[in-house]
Amino acid sequence: MANTNLHFKTNYDVSSKIEPFYKGGKVQISKDEKYIFCTCGSRVNVLEISTGKIVHSIEHDDQEDITSFALSCDDELLVTASRALLLKQWDWRQAQCTRSWKAIHTVPVASMTFDSTSTLLATGGCDGTIKLWDVVKQYCTHNLKGSSGVVHLVQFHPDISRLQLFSSSLDCGIRLWDLRSSQCVCVLQSHYSAVTSLSFSSDGGTMVSSGRDKICTVWDLKTRKVKRTVPVYEAVEGVVLLPDNKDFSQIGVKSKDLHFITAGSKGVLRVWETTTARCVYTQTLPSTLTPVSGEEEEKDDDPRSLTYLFHLPTSSRLATVTAEHNILLYQLPGLTTQQQFVGYNDEVLDVKFLGEGDSHIVVATNSSQLKVFELLTNSCQILYGHTDTVLSLDVFRKGSLFASCAKDRSVRVWHMDSDSGQVRCVAHGSSHTNAVGSISCSRMKASFIVSGSQDCTVKVWDLPADLSTTATDVYQLTARTTEKVHDKDVNSVAVSPNDKLLASGSQDRTAKLWSLVGERNVALLGVFRGHRRGVWTVCFSPVDQVLATSSADGTTKLWSLQDFSCLKTFEGHDASVLKAIFVSRGTQLLTSGSDGLVKLWTIKTNECVKTLDAHQDKVWGLHASRKDDKMVTGSADSNITVWVDVTEVEMAEQQAKQEDLILKQQELSNLLHEKKYLKALGLAISLDQPHTVLTVIKAIQEGDDSRKLLEKTILKLRQDQKESLLRYCVVWNTNARNCLDAQAVLQVLLTHLPPEELLQYQGARTHLEGLIPYTEKHMQRIGHLLQASMFLNYMWQKMRVAGAPSRGQDEEMDTTPLAHTQPFFMIDKEKGKGSSEERHDDSDSEQDDDPLCPVEEEEDEDNEVSVSKKASTNNRRVEYGESTTNDNSHSESEESSEEEDNDQDEKDPVKTVKCLPVSSASQCQTFAS
């Protein structure tokens, strides 16, 4: 099965993400028309229009939901209000809160706006009051009372010299406040439902108001009377007065009278003439989008309705926000679609790569609309056609044609133009009697599609040869054959790579294999039984006669197409396995589940080599690119993630690092040979390998006048290199072998660098604290060694050799250096506590390897013999030189010594046995200390 030249995938890394940035609420566009500000729970996200990227995200520390916000007219100040009744002023470009204060309102703030000078801020509360704030002097200037219920609309008159504020609340009236007297001058009564927006003429004398009562009212602000009531026959959420100094003839503006544009529940923009109260232009709907019926119009949650409308005068554009949280920008005067942004995807049900080079992805969300994203810019096309939720997608081999199926019992085929990137519907078929839950395209060429439905049937639809080049009319598909294939819902269908076989998976816990070779009907070839719950997906191997199935029982199985036996079972997901696809030329599997995980399996070893945890909910969408170098996942958590295969990249980077390391080590060796210690030390530090740096330090200390050379070299290092050296010293100091080198470096640093400079080093306090306990331990060990050496020196001077010619009691003995003699041992007869404990401690700190410890050169091959046994053995077997002393006298001497020892034991219980350092023919003798 496996190709020996193929490198298995071992890891995927996130390349890009498409995440929700707008979940409803207020939207505002900056004055310079470069940014869109919108709420998303506890955050205000700032979307850059030119790139479609979120460039800033403002969030309250308490993570309370933001109820309203306002951006000043000079684009400098952003003020947010949260449910915690706090107002916060932000430097939004730095995402820093510069000031916060209590809102004074007793309930959350519902609406906010700045005046044209960016000095006054008005807040309308759910308590029926309006507060005005001087954001420069930072105090409340007005407290306006009199509104009934929630104040959901506040807006300053554009002419600030008038000092007027307009507001609206639940009583459907428009209140006009005089800010000089803090009084309500009048209430403009015309609407019978909530007032949604206000728009002012350029001279400030005329105002248009819109409401959900399906009318727009034109007001004369001088007389404060109604000039015209325009019935618009839809609940209007936004209104914009068109400027009178531009040509808008393309959208029906033929006279110099005032015209305004409305956006509302019908989901289209319409242009109205104020004097005649008639609609002069209606935006053209997409050819596949049916008009909203009167019954549908009454729905409050119709996804096609518009919730906001903005005029961008500098760029001569209009911006709308849909109920599905999509933001669309239209270019005036033709109202052509310029940009589309998807603020919230809801639950992602399927996702596929699309286009040449997999430059786009097509996404099916919990919506009747399809969304096609360009991965480079995140710009989106919204495709209308289906009338109910799209459930599944599949892409033809070339990547420019794809098919979709939906709950509306229909299938559609779409074509993306390779030059413009525009997508249109080219074919449509509908003859299922229930929701169509799965679809699969032919693999060899775009000749047919297969659909599986909840009506337990599959249908094969033939496609015309010139489908992608047909006229703008949508081709009507006719099913070639219809076959009842399962007893329950058909969850998945898949066409084999040679277009001759069809696999189906069902809620009845089985998968089936069918032949597509026949003219009219599909023929059953076999049944795959073994799953304990419904089968979610079926997938053919691209190279072998193997079928993969995944099930709600948490397993993925591989089946033989020859005898329909189960070859392998993969277990690892904690819940249903929703998708399974082959990668790495059929040698590996990718699976996704209800647990939010994506797992990578190697088929040959049944091993899960990687688990990707990037989603918080069911991963419905899973697809690999045609080049097999990346994959895309879509989840019920509304996130879409594009992953890149980093296996080959990691291998290349690892090989490059290895080659670079070899070259640097060779260079380091050359520098040490040439005694260029400063360059060698700098190179070793750059490698960030403490052991390599220690090697250089040891090399420096081996030379003549090593102390001055080490000092000179270290002091010439840069500050960051000294920081690294201090960090390495902490590591070296934990080992008794390397403590002397660490202390030598520390002596240079602590002697020549002032404490103020040392404390500025990153982590200096932690490093210095880590040095103290091990340094104390090393000092104690050296102190014990010094005491032992002093005692040894004393014993050396007081020793006398039995049988040697007397040279006077006080005559000094030949003190040959210890390195030229055999080793000695010092032991406590009663297993002396002090020395045994010291030996135990020293072994823990690797004292045996310390250069200060005496070296034991033993002739005895058994290194495990205890010290006391070694001493007693030596006393028995070693003879003293060429002495001719008889055995009796020697025995008497030993008995005499033992008697003296016994007498001494009563006074001093501590005894020490010494083995004298003598020549190979010497004999040891014991002395009481």
Interaxial angle between packed helices 739-752 and 719-732, expressed in degrees from 0 to 180 and rounded to the nearest 10: 140
Share of the chain above pLDDT 70, in %: 82
Q: Helix-strand-coil percent breakdown of the chain, rounded to 5? A: 20, 35, 45
Query: What residues form DSSP beta bridges with 176?
Result: 166, 186
- Confidence grade of residue 893 (pLDDT, cut at 50, 70, 90): very low
Looking at residue 709, its pLDDT comes to 86
pLDDT of 819: 41
d(CA 691, CA 672): 15
Judge whether 198 and 155 are in contact, CB under 8 Å: yes
| 182-203 residues labelled b (16+ CB within 10 A) or e (exposed) | eebeeebebbeebbbbbbbbee
Kindly report, residue by residue over 673-730, the tens digit of the pLDDT: 888 888 888 888 888 888 888 888 888 888 778 888 888 888 888 888 888 888 888 8
Q: What's the pLDDT at 155? A: 94
Q: Give me the mean pLDDT over the 845-861 stretch.
A: 40
Q: Give me the pLDDT at residue 880, please.
A: 35
Give the mean pLDDT of 580-591: 93
For 439-448, write each residue's pLDDT tens digit. 999 998 888 9
Q: For residues 208 and 219, is the Cβ–Cβ distance under 8 A?
A: yes
Is residue 842's pLDDT more than 90? Answer: no
Residue 520's pLDDT band (boundaries 50, 70, 90)? Answer: low
Task: For 744-787, write each residue's pLDDT tens digit.
Answer: 888 888 888 888 887 878 777 787 788 888 888 888 888 888 88
636 or 912: whose pLDDT is higher? 636
Q: Is 80 exceeded by the pLDDT of residue 857?
A: no
Phi, psi (5° rounding) for residue 424?
A: -140, 155
Model pLDDT, residue 719: 84
Query: What is the rounded average pLDDT of the residues 246-264?
Result: 88
Quote the pLDDT of residue 29. Answer: 94
Q: Would you call 510 helix, strand, or coil by DSSP?
A: strand
pLDDT at residue 534 greater than cutoff 50: yes
By CB neighbour count within 10 A (0-12 exposed, 13-18 middle, 19+ buried), where does 671 fall?
Answer: buried
And the tokens for 289? 């989008």
| Residue 528 CB neighbour total at 10 angstroms | 23
Please report which confidence band the pLDDT of residue 318 belongs to, taking 50, 70 and 90 as the band edges: very high
Residue 921's pLDDT is what?
34
d(CA 199, CA 221): 12
The partner residues of 219 in beta bridges, in order of sequence, read 207, 226
Mean pLDDT (whole number) for 270-293 = 75
Q: What is the pLDDT of residues 361-419, one digit of tens each?
A: 999 998 888 999 988 888 888 898 899 999 999 999 888 899 999 999 999 999 998 88
Helix (H) / strand (E) containing 380: strand 380-383
Q: Check residue 493 and give its pLDDT.
A: 96
Long-range Cβ contact pairs of 915-920 (< 8 A, separation 24 or more): 915/823, 915/824, 915/825, 915/871, 915/874, 915/875, 916/799, 916/801, 916/824, 917/816, 917/818, 917/821, 917/822, 917/823, 917/824, 918/821, 918/822, 919/822, 919/881, 920/822
pLDDT band for position 6 (50/70/90)?
A: low
pLDDT tens per residue, range 621-634: 999 998 888 899 99
Asked if residues 288 and 385 have their Cβ atoms less than 8 Å apart, the reply is yes
- For 788, 839, 923, the CA distances from 915, given in Å and listed in that order, are 15, 18, 9
Question: Alpha helix (H) ranges present in 558-688?
Answer: 647-673, 677-687
Is pLDDT larger for residue 178 or for residue 845? 178
| Residue 303 binned pLDDT confidence (cut-offs 50, 70, 90) | low
Residue 688 is encoded by which pair of tokens? 């960030």
User: Which has the minimum average pLDDT: 39-48, 259-268, 834-843?
Assistant: 834-843
Neighbours of 592 (CB within 10 A): 30
Give the percent of the chain with pLDDT over 90: 42
pLDDT of residue 301: 52
Is it true that the peptide bond before 909 is cis, omega within 30 degrees of 0? no
Residue 909 has pLDDT above 80, yes or no: no
* DSSP letters spanning 260-316: EEEEETTSSEEEEETTTTEEEEEPPPPTTPPPPPHHHHT-TT-TT-EEEEEEETTTT
| Cα of 318 vs its chain's centroid, Å | 35
Above 80 in pLDDT, residue 496? yes
- 793 φψ region: left (φ > 0), alpha (ψ -120 to 50), beta (else): alpha
d(CA 92, CA 36): 12
pLDDT at 47 over 80: yes
Contacts of residues 478-482 at CB distance under 8 Å and 24 or more positions apart, as own/partner, are 478/429, 479/429, 479/431, 480/448, 480/520, 481/520, 481/521, 481/522, 482/431, 482/457, 482/458
Instruction: Dump pLDDT digits (tens) for 70-86.
Output: 999 999 999 999 888 88
Whether 841 has a pLDDT exceeding 80, the answer reads no
Contacts (Cβ under 8 Å, ≥6 apart) of 515: 500, 501, 502, 522, 523, 524, 525
Averaged pLDDT, 879-898: 40
Q: What is the pLDDT of residue 302?
A: 64
Handedness of CA 734, 736, 738, 740 (dihedral sign): positive
From CA 133, how far away is CA 113, in angstroms rounded? 11
- As a whole number, the mean pLDDT across the chain is 81
Separation CA 723–CA 718 (nearest Å): 9
pLDDT beyond 80 at 603: yes
Query: How sure is the predictor about 672, in pLDDT bands with cuts at 50, 70 and 90?
Result: confident
